[in-house]
Amino acid sequence: MAEYEPGVCNIGAGEQRRRYALGAVSFAATLGLLFAIYAANLPKTLALATFLPLFGAAEGYYQGRYQFCAGYALLGVYNVADEGGDRTPVTDPDARRADRRRALRIHAYAGGTALLGASLVHGVGLLIL
């Protein structure tokens, strides 16, 4: 079982699996959106809308990979139980600050990844189609 470490780990194995599942579903939504855009012959600039599901995919991946839920950090809670479990409040102000910094860093990683991915999808779509 994982242990809570401020700014390092705030979710256990069960929560990690949920984050990876979120990432997989979001990536599938990205593929579905791309298929719909190109199958319906919609304007290729709509491929930039893949930013949103790609953000979800990246967010899920990074949170699972780093054992850290950005949403929990912003709410000031953690859940390191392997299965289920209750959210436990983070009471130490320094720990909450460390968690918020990590959450913002994960959001930035996910945003950068999604921006790069959407730009690549759009660029490749313009070149190929």
Inside any domain, residue 111: yes
23 in a structural domain: yes
Domain that holds residue 53: 13-128
Q: Is residue 105 part of a domain?
A: yes
- pLDDT in single tens digits along all 129 residues of the chain: 689 999 999 999 999 999 999 999 999 999 999 999 999 999 999 999 999 999 999 999 999 999 999 999 999 999 998 887 789 999 999 999 999 999 999 999 999 999 999 999 999 988 886
User: What is the predicted pLDDT for the residue at 4?
Assistant: 95
Q: Establish if 7 belongs to a structural domain.
A: no
Tell me how crowded residue 29 is: count the other CB atoms within 10 A of its CB: 16
63 Cβ partners below 8 Å, 6+ apart? 11, 16, 19, 22, 69, 70, 106
Whether 88 is in a domain gets the answer yes
The structure tokens 């913002």 sit at 104
In a domain, 116, yes or no: yes
Predicted local distance difference test score (pLDDT) of residue 98: 98
Whether 42 is in a domain gets the answer yes
CA distance to 12, 101, 124, per residue, from 94 (Å):
21, 11, 45
Q: Is 8 contained in some domain? A: no
Tokens of 2: 């994982």
- pLDDT value at residue 129: 66
**Structure-token match 């599938």, residue found:** 28
Q: How many separate domains does the chain show?
A: 1
Dist CA 19 CA 39 (whole Å): 30
Distances (CA, A) of 30 to 26, 51, 80: 6, 8, 30
What integer pLDDT is reported at residue 57 of this predicted model? 99
User: What is the C-alpha separation between 54 and 86, in angstroms, rounded?
Assistant: 29
